[in-house]
């Protein structure tokens, strides 16, 4: 069975590398003519820069991937896992302390291995292409804050789960699921107020006319604007975005200051209309339900597999602690989940289409959103020529050229507004 698992892992790895490779080849094999809307925005020089940016990202991604594959092989198949498991067992007799140590130390090691990559990406790669606006000091303070928040959340979540497992050995899967569901809902609603302000500064919109227009749009979409804010994302990166959060009908709209810099008001409103579309079409709710169903199934499956003690045998081991088995199961889950990727990407692209249609209905045409997206692609040096298979597999949004053409053809469909 160990060999079957190894083969399965290598197969997934080969498919991943294969997809990356055809995507790089496709980009290098030449450019197709771009639709008119790109002219004046994206010229040959921009495309060269996009290619160079994508290639630089591919290179560091490749090294990171290889390191990950080697570590996984050594840890799971090279005898490191049983050694580590025994080491942790030697530290403490307490089930919860052991579990926290087991996952905590692993997470710490993983973070340390990731540090050079993070440094390289921010201060070499993003710097070279003019995206990085972060000082080393800010990077360090971000790292410290996320470590602290991560540690608190980790102890709360993992400690809570282990406690529930100990408390209800015959039905923990249901309790664990409920616990996670409550905590993740809590975080979803609270993080804009508790966690994000630790990293970003939220201020009222500086462009006064924009706020009135945003509020108009929200009313028209049936949402009541709580706060309309801009966030100082430009302190860290030149990449841009917009989002909105909130409970029920009261919405908090957040625009990145970089987005306000890059787009004009009409384009900004179209982007916002798209975001409102996700809310009005119930995508956020669907996403939440989907993840909770998956979580419930995963908890039940984990419970069944762990109760039957089949995992140690699969890896050719005599015994493995509870935490060790959970780790192996999580790894197996990520392998199976890989084959699920194209389906969830397709589902996400469908939602993006619906939100785009909603934006067309709100704004009256797709032109504004299309031109906004073209500008964002220009500013973010997006890859305009992904390999179709790669896009089918991974892309959560329709590839830009296709999306822009679709938006320009788009017509207002009034039935969309019916409740
Ligand atoms: Zn969207």
Q: Measure 21 CA to ligand 1 centroid, in angstroms.
A: 27
Segment 200-208 shows an average pLDDT of: 88
Write the pLDDT tens digit of every residue in 120-156: 999 999 999 989 888 999 999 999 999 999 999 999 9
Query: What is the b/e burial string over 366-387, where b = at least 16 CB atoms within 10 angstroms of the residue's CB?
Result: bbbbbbbbbbbbbbbbbbbbbb
Q: Measure 272 CA to ligand 1 centroid, in angstroms.
A: 10
Write the pLDDT tens digit of every residue in 326-384: 999 999 999 999 999 999 999 999 999 999 999 999 999 999 999 999 999 998 898 99
Q: Quote the pLDDT of residue 244.
A: 64
Q: Measure 275 CA to ligand 1 centroid, in angstroms.
A: 6
pLDDT for residue 41 is more than 50: yes
Q: Measure 379 CA to ligand 1 centroid, in angstroms.
A: 18
Q: Measure 155 CA to ligand 1 centroid, in angstroms.
A: 33
Higher-confidence position of 252 and 18: 18
Inter-CA distances, 85 with 232, 260, 321, 357, Å: 44, 51, 7, 53
Q: Quote the pLDDT of residue 333.
A: 94
Q: Quote the pLDDT of residue 78.
A: 92
pLDDT for residue 311 is more than 60: yes
Segment 47-64 shows an average pLDDT of: 92
**What positions carry a catalytic annotation?**
275, 356
Write the pLDDT tens digit of every residue in 56-110: 999 999 999 999 999 999 999 998 999 999 999 999 999 999 999 999 999 999 9
Predicted confidence band of residue 245 (pLDDT cuts 50, 70, 90): low
Higher-confidence position of 308 and 103: 103
366 and 356 Cβ atoms separated by less than 8 Å = yes
Q: What distance in Å separates the CA atoms of residue 330 and residue 335, rounded to the nearest whole number? A: 9
Q: Measure 232 CA to ligand 1 centroid, in angstroms.
A: 21
Q: Quote the pLDDT of residue 249.
A: 58
116 and 143 Cβ atoms separated by less than 8 Å = no
369 and 263 Cβ atoms separated by less than 8 Å = no
pTM of the model: 0.88
Q: Measure 174 CA to ligand 1 centroid, in angstroms.
A: 33
Q: Quote the pLDDT of residue 419.
A: 42
Burial class (CB in 10 A: 0-12, 13-18, 19+), 148: exposed
pLDDT for residue 325 is more than 80: yes
Q: Measure 352 CA to ligand 1 centroid, in angstroms.
A: 5
Q: Quote the pLDDT of residue 190.
A: 82
pLDDT for residue 199 is more than 60: yes
Q: What is the mean pLDDT of the chain?
A: 90
């Amino acid at each position: 069975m160990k060999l079957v698992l190894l083969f399965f892992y290598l197969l997934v790895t080969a498919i991943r590398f294969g997809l990356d490779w055809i995507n790089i080849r496709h980009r290098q094999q030449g450019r197709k003519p771009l639709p008119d809307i790109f002219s004046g925005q994206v010229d040959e020089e921009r495309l060269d820069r996009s290619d160079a940016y994508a290639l630089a990202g591919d290179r560091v991604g490749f090294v990171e991937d290889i390191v990950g594959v080697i570590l996984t092989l050594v840890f799971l198949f090279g005898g490191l896992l049983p050694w580590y498991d025994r080491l942790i067992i030697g530290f403490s007799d307490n089930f919860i302390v052991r579990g926290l140590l087991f996952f905590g130390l692993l997470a710490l090691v993983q973070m340390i291995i990731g540090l050079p990559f993070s440094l390289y990406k921010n201060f070499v790669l993003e710097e070279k292409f003019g995206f990085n606006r972060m000082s080393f000091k800010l990077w360090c303070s971000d790292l410290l804050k996320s470590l602290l928040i991560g540690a608190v959340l980790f102890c709360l979540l993992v400690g809570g789960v282990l406690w529930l497992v100990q408390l209800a050995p015959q039905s923990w899967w249901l309790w664990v699921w409920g616990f996670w569901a409550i905590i993740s809902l809590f975080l979803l609603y609270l993080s804009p107020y508790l966690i994000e302000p630790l990293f970003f500064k939220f201020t009222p919109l500086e462009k006064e006319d924009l706020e009135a227009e945003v509020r108009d749009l929200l009313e028209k979409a049936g949402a009541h604007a709580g706060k309309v804010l801009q966030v100082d994302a430009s302190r860290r990166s030149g990449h841009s975005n917009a989002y909105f959060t909130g409970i029920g009908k009261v919405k908090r709209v957040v625009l990145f200051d970089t987005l306000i810099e890059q787009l004009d008001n009409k384009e900004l409103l179209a982007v916002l209309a798209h975001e409102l579309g996700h809310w009005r079409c119930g995508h956020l709710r669907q996403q939440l339900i989907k993840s909770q169903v998956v979580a419930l199934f995963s908890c039940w499956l984990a419970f069944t597999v762990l109760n039957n003690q089949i995992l140690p045998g699969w890896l050719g081991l005599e015994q493995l602690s509870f935490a060790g088995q959970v780790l192996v199961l999580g790894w197996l889950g990520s392998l199976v989940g890989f084959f699920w990727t194209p389906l969830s990407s397709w589902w996400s692209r469908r939602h993006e289409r619906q939100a785009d249609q909603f934006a067309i209905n709100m704004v009256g045409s797709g032109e504004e959103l299309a031109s906004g997206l073209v500008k964002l692609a220009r500013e973010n040096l997006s890859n305009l020529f992904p390999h179709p298979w790669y896009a089918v597999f991974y892309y959560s949004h329709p590839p830009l050229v296709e999306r822009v053409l679709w938006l320009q053809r788009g017509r207002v469909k009034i039935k969309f507004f019916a409740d």
